[in-house]
Amino acid sequence: MTDLVPTGERTLPSVPSENYWYRRHVAAYRFARRHARGRVLDAGCGEGYGTRLLGHAPVVGLDLDAAVAARAARRYPAARFLAADLCRLPVRPSSVDTIVALQVLEHLWCPDEFLAACREALRPGGTLVVSTPNRDTFPAGRNPSHVHEYDRRELEALLRRHFDAVTVVATTHGPLLRLLDRFLGEPVQHRLVRRPYEQQPAWLRAVLRTVRSHDLGITRDAERGLDLVAVGTRYDRERG
């Protein structure tokens, strides 16, 4: 996987400097997998590792970059990958049961259009699972590819415009990472913004390379969590 170069737009597997951020994404995918059923769409799939982790067939991954989608298809042949613009979601009405869109909303100029299209694509009873950085805890200016970052209230209000039931939780550090935060005197994510991974001391780089998704969990205290994770459900009724 030497062709993968960190740009900040996508989180990459098997790149040491990206491991902490990659494991945060995997933790959100593990949560999404618990909600996935039937026909699953992974919108904004990036490198495709999360599409594979969803573990459902049939599952389709969508990404704006055709080269990225093609690379994912080569690496994970059990899933199907297509190039698509999420602002014009290429999905038939009432054709899927679950849509997963992790670390996607913050990149979109069209969040309302995307969520409206997701609702239309879902069958009655279908579920959307999204994750996005928590503006209240995410380091300001970390990622210039973000169009907009959300706090919990804003994210919940956005989803409630399109879905009948919405729950918001967040990823959080487990015991080992909380201990590391205390030892550093600041959150790991803030330390990595102040000083790039390559400039961190060798001991910290070594620790960050060992982080696994099970070192993160889910908290209902979303305001203080890391990445907000929201579940929206479409019921079989017209919205007023």
In the chain, domain spans: 16-233
Interval 183-223: pLDDT, tens: 999 999 999 988 999 999 999 999 999 999 999 999 999 99
The one-character DSSP state at 61 is E
Query: Interhelix angle for 19-35 vs 202-209, to 10°?
Result: 20
Interval 65-114: pLDDT, tens: 999 999 999 999 989 999 999 988 999 999 999 999 999 999 999 999 99
The helix/strand/coil state of 40 is strand
Please state the rounded mean pLDDT for residues 139-153: 85
Residue 63 has pLDDT above 50, yes or no: yes
Interval 49-61: pLDDT, tens: 999 999 767 799 9
Count Cβ atoms below 10 Å from residue 64 Cβ, excluding itself: 15
Domain 16-233 superfamily per CATH: Vaccinia Virus protein VP39 (3.40.50.150)
Predicted local distance difference test score (pLDDT) of residue 214: 96
